[in-house]
Amino acid sequence: MISRNNRIVLSCLCLILMTTFTCTTKTDSKTSKSDETLDQKVDSLLALMTIEEKVGQMNLYNGFWEVTGPMPEGGNAQTKYEHLRKGWVGGMLSVRGYENVKKMQQIAVEETRLGIPLIIGFDVIHGYKTLSPIPLAESASWDLEAIEQSARIAAVEASAAGINWTFAPMVDISRDPRWGRVMEGGGEDPYLGSKIAVARVKGFQGDNLSQPNTIAATAKHFAGYGFAEAGREYNTVDISMSKLHNVVLPPFKAAAESGARSFMNSFNDLNGDPVSGSKFLQRDILKGDWNFNGFVVSDWASINEIIYWGRAKNKKEAAEIAATAGSDMDMEGHVYIQELANLVKEGIVPEGIIDEAAGRILRVKFELGLFDDPYKYCNKEREKTVIGQQSHHEGVLDMAKKSIVLLKNESNLLPLKKEGQRIALIGPLANDKNSPLGSWRIASDDNTAVSIYEGLSAYEGNDLVYKKGVDLWVGATAFTKEIKINTTDRSGMTEAVNTARNADVVVMVLGEHGFQSGESRSRTNLDLPGLQQELLEAVFKVNKNIVLVLQNGRPLALEWAAENIPTIVEGWQLGTQTGNAIAQVLYGDYNPSGKLPMTFPRNVGQVPIYYNYKSTGRGTDRENNVFWSHYIDQKNSPLYAFGHGLSYTEFEYSDLTVEGSDFSIGDDIDIFVTVSNVGDYDGKEVVQLYIRDLVGSLVRPVKELKGFELIALKKGESQRVSFTLSKDELGYYNNSGEFIVEPGDFEVFIGGSSETKLKGNFTLN
Ligand code: BGC
C-alpha cells in the first residue's frame, strides 16, 4: 500500500515529470533538444532524492526470492527486500516472466517514497527462449542483417518476459581459443567485430528505445578481458596501448557510437589496474573521448574484487575507487549500498559523482519509457503469444544455416544424395538436444534443440542409422564445477564401427558439449574431448567416406582430421534449430557461405594465432635460414585461416583495380574486383578486402581486414564488387592513443579468405 505521504510526493514527482518530459527518446548519443529535455527531467528528479536513494539507483541486485511467493525472512534476501521497499535498488537482474517482474516493479513503483521504476536486466546473449546460434557462430555468417535480425528476435522475446535491458553484446576481441568465452563474441578481428557490435546493438535497441519490444544493450566487458594471459579465465591482462586502441577498443567504440545504452566492465585488470576501478578506461576514454552518455554497470561483484586484486584494503576503499573511476552501478556486489552514502557524508567521494552516476541510470530509464508506464514490458498476453512464436523459429533457423562453415569438401561427399543411400550417423553429439543450446540459455528449457538426428530424419529417402559410439560427458550444467568427460567407457564403440563399415556415407558429429565453453570454461587442450578422436580413427579404418560435423564453442585444433577426413563442416552450437540447419546444409537445400571469424590452430602451442599478426625482423623471406621466426616442430600457418569457408560452388576472383594510384591523405580510394561463380550451384560469398601498410612509424600487421561484402551469385554469374577506403581504414592508433594516418605505400588484397594472394597497390602522399 502507498502511504498518504508517498502519494503526495508521488504526485509532486508526476507533476515535475509531466511538465518537463516529453519522453520521445531516440537512441542518439549526440546532444539534441530531446537530450536537453531529458537532462532536465533527470535533474528535477535528482533534486528530490536523498543521498541514499541516489546511491540506491547505483545498486543492482540479483533476483532474490520467488517474488510472487511469501516475503523472505532473514539473510540476504530479506535485506534486499527491505532495500527495495526503501527505494535503495536501481535494478534487478535475472528476474523474468511477466508476473515476477510486475510484482518487483510494483514494490518499486507503489511502495517506495519516489516510486522510481526498476530497470530489469538479463543475459539475453543469443536469444531468450528461442535460441539463435552462439554469437561466435553468428559472427561466422558475416551477415550483418541476419545478425541484427537475430538480436531483434531476442529483444522481442525478452521484452515480452518483462526484461528491458540485456547484458549483450559481448564485444571482446580474443585471439586465444583456450578462453571459454570466445563463444560469446565476434571473434578475433576488430573490424568485423565492430560491424557485428553495431548490428547487435541495433537489433536489441531498434530505432526507438521507448517501444515495448526493444531493450537497452550493454557492450561488455570493458575492456581487455579477451586477452587474459594464457587464455585462463579471470587472469591478468597486460597489453600495449597500441594493441588496446587498435584491437580491443574498436568494437566498444562502435557500440558506443551506435547508441548502446550501457557498458559493463570486466573481471580483469588492465596493465595493473582492475578495470572496475579504471578511471583511464571509464572516465577518460568512454565518458571523455567517446562522450558516452549511458551508464557503466560492474560485472558480477567485480567492484568487490578490487579488494582481491590487492588494489583496495576493504569495501570502503573499493567503493571509492570504483565510483570515482566511473563505474556507475554495482552488480550484486553490495559495496555501493553499504559504503557510498557514508563516503559522501565523510567528504571522501564528492556528491557530484553520485549525481552523475544515478543521473545516467535514470536517463536510460526515461529513455526506456519506464516513467510513462513502468509495466509496459509486463503484458500477460504478449508473453504468451510472442515467446516461441513460429516466425522466431524461422528466424533462428535462417541464422543457424548462415552460421555454418564448410571447412573442407575434398571428395565432394557433400551435398548428400537424397535417395538410395545408407547413412550411418555416429557420435555423442549426433542426437543431443541439450548441448546445441550452448551455455547461455537461462530462459530456454533443457533439451529443446532439434538434434542433428531429428533434422536428418526429416529427409526420408535414405536409410539413416544412428549409433552414439561413445558418451562425451554426463549430467553437468553451466554451474557444475567438475566436468566429467568419459575417458573409459568404450562399450558402444564396436557397434558404431560396424554400422559405419557398410554405410555409403558416415556422418560423424563430434566436438565439445555446450557447457564446455562459456564463462569459466578455459581449456588447455583444443582437441576432441574424451574418446571422440579414438572413435573417429576407428571408424576411419573401416570407412573413409566421412563427413565430420563439428559442434564446438571455440576453434579446435584438429590436425589429424584436417589431414585425413575428406569433408568437415563447422556446425558450432546453433541453438534451437540446430538439427534442421545442419540437415539442410548437408543435403544441399542450403549452400553454406560462412567464413571463420577466428583462426583455427594446428595445435595449442601455436596459440595465440591470428591472421593480422605483425611483421617481424625475421619473417618468411628468411625461411631457408635456421634463424627465422618459426617453430622447429610445427608450421607457422594455421589449420584454417580467419575468413576461410567453402561453398558447394566455386568462386573466382579477378581484375583487382585500384582507381588511381597516388592519393593524398583524406582522399577516398575506390577499389574494384570481379567475382565469378564458376561452379555448379548458386551460392553466396563473403568478399573480403585486406590492406597492408608497408612502412609505418610503428610495426604494422601483415594484413588487416578493412572491408567485406556478402554477395549472392547464380551459377555462371559474375559481379564487379566495389570498396571504398577512407582515412578511417588507412590510419591506426599509436601508443599514445592518437589516431594517425601516415603517407606511404599500401598493398590491398581481395579474396575469399585472409590467405588471398590477389593484390593491388596504391600510395598515400
Ligand atoms: C558475467 C557477465 C554477465 C553477468 C550477469 C557475469 O559472471 O561475466 O557477462 O552478464 O555475470 O549474469
Q: Give counts: helices (H), strands (E), the chain.
A: 23, 26
> What are the distances in angstroms from CA 333 to CA 80, 167, 256, 338?
12, 17, 25, 10
pLDDT computed for residue 34 by the predictor = 76
**582 neighbors 574 (Cβ within 8 angstroms):** yes
* Residues catalogued as catalytic: 299
Q: What pLDDT shows up at residue 274? A: 98
Model pLDDT for residues 234-256, shown as the tens digit of each residue: 999 999 999 999 999 999 999 99
The answer to whether 151 and 158 are in contact (CB under 8 A) is: no
Q: What pLDDT score does 411 carry?
A: 84
Cα separation of 197 and 263, whole Å? Answer: 12
User: 268-305 burial, b if ≥16 CB within 10 A, otherwise e?
Assistant: bbbeebbbbbbbbbbbebbbeebebbbbbbbbbbbbbb
Which pLDDT score, from 0 to 100, does residue 66 have? 64
The predicted model gives 318-325 an average pLDDT of 98
Give 299 Cα–ligand 1 centroid separation in angstroms.
Answer: 6
Ligand 1 center to 182 CA (angstroms): 14
Q: Is 640 in the pocket of ligand 1 (CB under 6 A)?
A: no
431 C-alpha to ligand 1 centroid (Å): 30
Expressed in angstroms and rounded, the spacing between residue 690 Cα and the centre of ligand 1 is 34
- Coil, helix or strand for 265? strand
Residue 574 has phi, psi (to 5 degrees) of -100, 10
Instruction: Please give the C-alpha separations between residue 735 and each of 241, 694, 705, in angstroms, as whole numbers.
Output: 5, 19, 21
Q: How far apart are the first and last CA of the chain?
A: 73
Which atom of ligand 1 lies nearest, measured to the CA of 167? Answer: 10
Q: In which region does residue 133 sit, left (phi positive, over 0), alpha (psi from -120 to 50) or beta (all else)?
A: beta
Average pLDDT on 144-166 reads 98
pLDDT in tens, 713-755: 999 999 999 999 999 999 999 999 999 999 999 999 999 999 9
Establish whether residue 300 lines the binding site of ligand 1, counting it when its CB lies within 6 angstroms of any ligand atom: yes
Predicted local distance difference test score (pLDDT) of residue 22: 37
The alpha carbon of 63 and the centre of ligand 1 are apart by a number of angstroms equal to: 14
Per-residue pLDDT at 247: 98
For a substitution probing ligand 1, which of 299, 304, 442 has the most ligand atoms within 8 Å of its CB? 299
For residue 78, the surrounding DSSP H or E stretch is helix 75-86
- Burial of residue 454 (CB within 10 Å: 0-12, 13-18, 19+) is middle
Distance 126 CA to ligand 1 centre (A): 14
Residue nearest to atom 12 of ligand 1 (CA): 123
- Nearest 5 degrees, angle CA 462-CA 510-CA 132? 85
The finding on whether 519 has its CB within 6 A of some atom of ligand 1 is yes
Nearest CA to ligand 1 atom 5: 300
Which atom of ligand 1 is nearest to 121's Cα?
5
Tally Cβ neighbours within 10 Å of residue 77: 16
- Residue of 62, 96, 122, 123 best suited for mutating to test ligand 1, as the one with most atoms within 8 Å of CB: 123
Contacts of 748 (CB under 8 A, 6+ apart): 656, 658, 671, 689, 690, 691, 692, 725, 759, 760, 761, 762
Which of 184, 265, 519, 521 most suits a substitution to test ligand 1, by most atoms within 8 Å of the C-beta? 519
Cβ neighbours around 424 below 10 Å, total: 27
Q: Are 232 and 183 in contact (CB under 8 A)?
A: no
> Which residue, by CA, sits nearest to atom 2 of ligand 1?
299
Closest Cα to atom 4 of ligand 1: 300
Q: What is the pLDDT of residue 69?
A: 65
Quickly state the pLDDT bin for 478 (edges 50, 70, 90): confident
DSSP 3-state assignment of 225?
helix
* Cβ atoms 712, 683 nearer than 8 A: yes
State residue 674 phi and psi, 5-degree precision. -100, 130
Q: Does 184 sit in the ligand 1 pocket, CB within 6 Å?
A: no
Task: Give distance in angstroms: CA of 300 to centre of ligand 1.
Answer: 6
Å from CA of 22 to ligand 1 middle: 34
- Identify which of 519, 52, 61, 50 has the alpha carbon closest to the alpha carbon of residue 298: 61
Query: Is the Cβ atom of 225 under 6 angstroms away from ligand 1?
Result: no
Omega of the bond leading into 334 within 30 degrees of 0 (cis):
no
Question: What is residue 67's predicted lDDT score, i.e. its pLDDT?
Answer: 64
Predicted local distance difference test score (pLDDT) of residue 23: 35
Atom of ligand 1 nearest to the CA of 218: 10
Q: Give the 3-state secondary structure of residue 601.
A: coil
Lowest mean pLDDT among 69-73, 314-318, 677-681, 710-714: 69-73
CB of 167 closer than 6 angstroms to any ligand 1 atom: yes
With a 6 Å cutoff on the Cβ, whether 309 touches ligand 1 is no
Q: 329 C-alpha to center of ligand 1: Å?
A: 14
Give the pLDDT of residue 720. Answer: 98
Residue 103 per-residue DSSP state? H
The confidence score (pLDDT) of residue 91 equals 98
Q: Does ligand 1 come within 6 angstroms of the Cβ of 123? A: yes
Residues 580-636 have pLDDT tens digits of 999 999 999 999 999 999 999 999 999 999 999 999 999 988 888 899 999 999 999
Q: Of all helices (H) and strands (E), which one includes residue 550?
A: strand 546-551
In whole angstroms, give the CA distance from residue 577 to residue 449.
6
What are 400-451's pLDDT values in tens digits? 999 999 999 998 899 999 999 999 999 999 999 999 999 999 999 999 999 9
Residues 6+ apart with CB under 8 A from 531: 470, 486, 487, 489, 490, 493
Ligand 1 proximity of 367 Cβ (cutoff 6 Å): no
